[in-house]
Amino acid sequence: MKPSPLKVTSEIGRLRSVLLHRPGKEVENLTPDLMARLLFDDIPYLKIAQEEHDAFAKVLKDNGAEVLYLEDLAAEALEDKAVRESFIDEYLKEAKIPGDGTREMLREFFLSMDVKAMVAQTMAGVRRTELPREELKFLSLADRLDTDNPLVVDPMPNLYFTRDPFATIGTGITLNHMRTETRNRETLYAKYIFQHHPRFKDCDVPFWYDRTETTSIEGGDELVLSPSVLAIGISERTDAASVEKLARKLFSDERSTYKQVLAFNIPKKRAFMHLDTVFTMVDRDKFTIHPEIEGPLQVFSITPNSSGIHIEEERSTLETILAKALGLDKVTLIRCAGGDPIDAPREQWNDGSNTLAIAPGKVVVYSRNYVTNQILQDHGIVTHIVPSSELSRGRGGPRCMSMPLVREDI
């Protein structure tokens, strides 16, 4: 086996390789009736969202990062016909198509395409008008009763938040079990990429978590603080049981360097959906934070012991807990919009605390969070500001939109 091509031992090491997904037709298959089920509060304008995403990718490239795209890696992983058929069978099973006739027609529809078009279509979902109407064969009652639905397969508009379906920790990944059925399908792409893509398939990539688990965990709750300390949010999307499972795996696998997991119990609400929507690392000793989580926040330290794990609630201030975990004298918490009672919740809603570090003290941020951006600059942080009027409608910031594969050690 070749060594793992992944290495992420901090949140702030210089970014060398990163996975993105450029928003596609899946965004245009959102409707007002679908928004709640597909976890959107609004419908982004795709043309502008793509322009903003391209500007984001350009900042990463201009600062030395290799930018890879989920859609490209997935297509390259599915070049083999048998692998492609296996993927489509699994995809259709998880899409829960009710009728046998519709399911078989969809299988033929996808497999008739070239692989790049097929991948794009699986991401976009399928409108009923895209299927050859004259070939409809109503083989079951379910086929007959489902014909009023304009979408035969739901789109996956959350895909441009590549952080969540899988996450790099050290030289391995968590292939996540997502909270909602609509997002759990997204993890299929990572499964096939790591099993079949030439870049990964013959490498020793540990799986710290697997999508077949029954409790949920999402990448927005996983923050790599150092080569030995991981922070994980217990959130609207990540279960406490998943944190324990991950900690046990990290502590027992000789390929892991992790000795401590800090579990952050954050309020379970839409505005705080993941830990990285309220807390991110911007420098060796500096973090952004949304002030509303500081009061109710509980932090538990999980460490290995002879019976597996030891769990202890931390009673110190968050600054003290972080400084101790990182071996520092002190850390600075930079509050979203300075903690202003009006500006902070407004900018938090638009991911003012969701920064992506591309090197120590250098971060990518959304333009619309100008109050927080100025405060970051006042603390000596270099801000690479990207446009964000449409991307932000999905409730995710620069960290959400990126999955680092390789960072330099610090």
Q: At a CB cut-off of 8 Å and minimum separation 6, what does 370 contact?
A: none
* Per-residue tokens: 77: 């992983």
Burial class of residue 99, CB neighbours in 10 A (0-12, 13-18, 19+): buried
* Per-residue tokens: 182: 């609509």
Identified catalytic residue from 173, 400, 401, 405: 400
C-alpha closest to that of 344 among 392, 272, 403? 272
Annotation marks residue 203 as catalytic: no
C-alpha closest to that of 393 among 48, 109, 72, 100? 48
- Residues 168 and 404: beta-carbon distance below 8 Å: yes
C-alpha closest to that of 376 among 293, 294, 283? 283
* Per-residue tokens: 377: 């600059």
Q: At a CB cut-off of 8 Å and minimum separation 6, what does 322 contact?
A: 225, 287, 328, 331
- Active-site residue set: 400
